[in-house]
């Protein structure tokens, strides 16, 4: 009788251990690595939605914040995310998206490098039955193939920043402005530049002495600003498409010993906010990159589930100056 009881207890113990192992497997997380080495968080479970996120680059601090927000959303919402890095190469972004199609992602989230050249690739994904969402950069010619867009109103934000600059220049009877416009082909860059020009070109007291489409990196900002400083003996202000260009321009101005030139950025990156705090940058726009990445993945998951979505979701932006920069730094401190 005792031997029989022992056998039964041992059998129950083995079953319990096996059941425990099975339950723990469903709650583990592992890292999903893309072909180019980018990574995302993957939640366990065969029924999780797979999001493919094609980024134009992961070198820019702004995009890194977007990537972090996207990964956090996937982790919290129980989705798998595969993040690719186009390295500012349109051909590579095409290849990345084709790879995501082969991996049978449920929804394709796109941060387009070039809003025009990518259309045929979007058509290919759409024909394969994929749900498509755009982030930050819209793809106007893709039309109804895009389920929704998550970003900001770049033109209106550009107008707000430009008007602030105009007001500051007029206070000091200054007028000569240079515009560094950013990545060519990107819809967001084009809209920001349109906002800048709408304000600056139509103010009789302001003179845009030069503008150039230069890229989006700090090194590019430094190089182009170096050329502008040699070309023009009088420059009062520089307004840039992003904080990285602005920080590069500031370095060139400092190295040249040119005083009195104010610089505006755009994006609200950590370095940009610190530059506003220190006084080396006049102002920037808080683009809320982390929140945008989070909301983009959230929208992608809803789209994959067939939920009804608005045509676009615009995040509110904030003009950041010395008056409110400390609040912005505090607000973004925990966005990791």
- Same domain flag for 117 and 166: no
What is this structure's pTM?
0.83
pLDDT in tens, 54-110: 999 998 899 999 999 999 999 999 999 999 999 999 999 999 999 999 999 999 999
Cα 148 to Cα 140: distance, rounded to the nearest angstrom? 12
pLDDT attached to residue 277: 98
CATH of the domain at 248: 3.40.50.2300
160 shares a domain with 115 = no
Query: Residues in the chain with pLDDT < 50?
Result: 1-46
Domain membership flag for residue 21? no
E-state strands within 251-301? 262-264, 284-286
* 184 & 239 share domain: yes
DSSP secondary structure letters along 4-47? HHHHHHHHHHHHHHHHHHHHHHTT-EEEEE-TTS-EEEEE-STT
Q: What is the pLDDT of residue 2?
A: 38
Task: Tell whether 139 and 173 lie within a shared domain.
Answer: no
Task: State which residues form the domain around 246.
Answer: 154-286
- In angstroms, the first-to-last Cα distance of the chain is 61
Indicate if 176 and 138 belong to the same structural domain: no
Q: Is residue 76 part of a domain?
A: yes
């Amino acid at each position: 009788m005792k031997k029989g009881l022992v056998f039964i207890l041992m059998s129950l113990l083995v079953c319990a251990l096996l059941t425990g192992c099975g339950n723990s497997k469903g709650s583990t997380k592992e890292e999903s690595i893309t072909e180019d080495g980018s990574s995302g968080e993957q939640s366990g479970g065969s029924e999780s939605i797979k999001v493919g996120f094609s980024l134009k680059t992961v070198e820019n601090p702004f995009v890194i914040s977007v990537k972090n927000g996207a990964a956090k959303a996937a982790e919290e919402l129980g989705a798998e995310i595969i993040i690719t890095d186009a390295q500012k190469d349109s051909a590579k972004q095409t290849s990345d998206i084709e790879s995501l199609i082969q991996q049978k992602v449920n929804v394709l989230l796109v941060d387009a490098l070039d809003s025009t050249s990518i259309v045929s690739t979007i058509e290919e994904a759409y024909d394969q039955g994929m749900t498509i969402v755009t982030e930050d950069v819209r793809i106007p010619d893709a039309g109804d193939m895009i389920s929704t867009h998550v970003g900001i109103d770049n033109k209106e934000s550009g107008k707000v920043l430009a008007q602030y600059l105009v007001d500051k220049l007029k206070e000091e009877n200054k007028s000569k402005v240079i515009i560094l416009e950013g990545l060519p082909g990107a819809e967001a860059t084009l809209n920001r530049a349109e906002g800048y020009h709408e304000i600056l070109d139509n103010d009789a007291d302001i003179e845009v002495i030069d503008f150039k489409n230069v890229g989006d990196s700090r090194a590019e900002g430094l190089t182009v600003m170096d050329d502008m400083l040699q070309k023009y003996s009088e420059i009062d202000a520089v307004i840039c498409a992003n904080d990285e260009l602005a920080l590069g321009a500031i370095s060139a101005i400092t190295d040249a010993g040119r005083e009195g030139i104010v610089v505006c950025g755009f994006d609200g990156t950590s370095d940009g906010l610190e530059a506003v705090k220190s006084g080396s940058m006049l102002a920037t726009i808080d683009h809320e990159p982390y929140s945008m990445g989070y909301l983009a993945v959230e929208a992608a998951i809803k789209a994959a589930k067939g939920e009804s979505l608005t045509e676009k979701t615009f995040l509110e932006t904030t003009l950041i100056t010395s008056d409110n920069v400390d609040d912005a730094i505090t607000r973004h401190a925990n966005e990791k």
